[in-house]
Structure 1
Amino acid sequence: MTTILVTGGTGTLGRLVSERLRADGHEVRVLSRRAQPYAVDLRKGGPGLDVALEGVDTVVHCASSPGGGDEKAAAHLIAAARRAGVGHLVYISIVGVDRVPYGYYRSKLAVETLIEESGLDWTVLRATQFHDLLVRVLGLLSKLPVMLLPARVKDQPIEVAEVADRLAELAVAAPAGRVEDMGGPEVRTFDSLARAYLQATGRKRAVVSLPLRGKGYEGFRSGGHLAPEHAVGKGTFEEYLGRRFGGGHGG
């Protein structure tokens, strides 16, 4: 039996990874800012992190914040993992972090570099956006009577449970470095995804696509965040919407 620490273990992905590992008989420690007994803010570090890592064989690093602080959190985690003699650090990243000049992506890429240069044995998996993240974005965009979308942008959403299965698999395997990306089953226009969301939630909105400016937008428009050659996901966006919203009355 392996002792595995999952950072961000109460989040959308980390919770599922923890469940899979426990189901396979591993001892799992969940680390987050509020989850006892391993409540630690990775951005601050501290002695609680050393306690959480004592006797741990593998760390699955799912904790992340689009608001900033990922690099500092990773530095604290790596230093503590070295002190504890952790044998394997697994990190979930995002497809396109090296191609799309977007602030959060730059931070994720910087964390990848920290891990690669940490002296620890490591594995990094990049995935496309999760279905639930896309729904949160579309939910915000649909608050206005007119739904404004970035023009000529596509997406390739993937089922988070499939990524969790892959991470759990990697956590108990030998360190593999950068593994093949995971992409959703379909590359879709943002417009088609928005219309599927509106239909599933029973909302009626005018949908207007607007061209934007900036290097980040150009990176997304050129498809830097897509992995059509690694469309290994099975669950479609419509299937996710059906489970979440049912027959169009979830709005």
Structure 2
Amino acid sequence: MATLLSVADNRRFIIGVLMRAFVLVVCLILSSFACVAQAETIRLTVYDDGRSCPGDCDAHVVFDDALNRSDFAHLPGTQKGECIKGQKCEICIESGRKQCLEVTYRGRGPTKKTFDLTPAFFRDACATPPTQPALGAKCKELKKDGQALEGRVNCIANPGHAKCVEMIAHAKAARDLDEPKYEQCVRVGEEKYNQGKSKSEQRANTCTYEFLSNGGPNSHGTRWRKLLPGACREGTFVGPYGTDCCNGFPFEDGPKGAECKFYYPKP
């Protein structure tokens, strides 16, 4: 009888150990899932808003003030030191200070939880495979977007092509008409320039955008201020949706979607 009880006790002991081990494994698995679920990443985008792009649109980043002095963006070598315009800033794409790199910081950007980076940055960063997985994925995405323009006529690079003459002439005329207005606005200041003008003639965002939001609406019903033609640098042109300047480099124009695809008609 004692033997039978001993065997039963042993079985209960073994079952208890196995159950505790099972519970431990389940907890570890759930914990790992929770960690994955809690990981936050910052979106990477390409931007070029022409002559208002700081630093002559060199390789740099801009981002919303809420990201500055955080784990995502801080002065290199500090916990949460403030990134300073014109100096190197450590940006981390993933929470927990993961996927970090140093980039020149050029000031505040318009979009929350986003690192707005210039074409010049991506030209350098994507020249060799990045060590940051998210940046590597973005480079692949940009190259794929650029490849989507292959086989089309690049009107900015070939303005004399039959498909391009009228299009580029119209784009140049629009820029030439708006450029003196942009330069006057910059010279006298936006507030003084806008005085006495109708809202349709006023300018915003350091003179580069229209005051009214005539862009859109998009699929979400959102409207936006359109980038004005005179704000684009020489040899570049704003697209029909007023979101970016297009420059004739497929790697840089491709990610801007329909805005720059406009300048790449089918042959």
Same fold per TM (> 0.5)?
no
- Larger Rg computed on CA atoms: 2
Q: Report the TM-score, using the length of structure 2 for normalisation.
A: 0.23
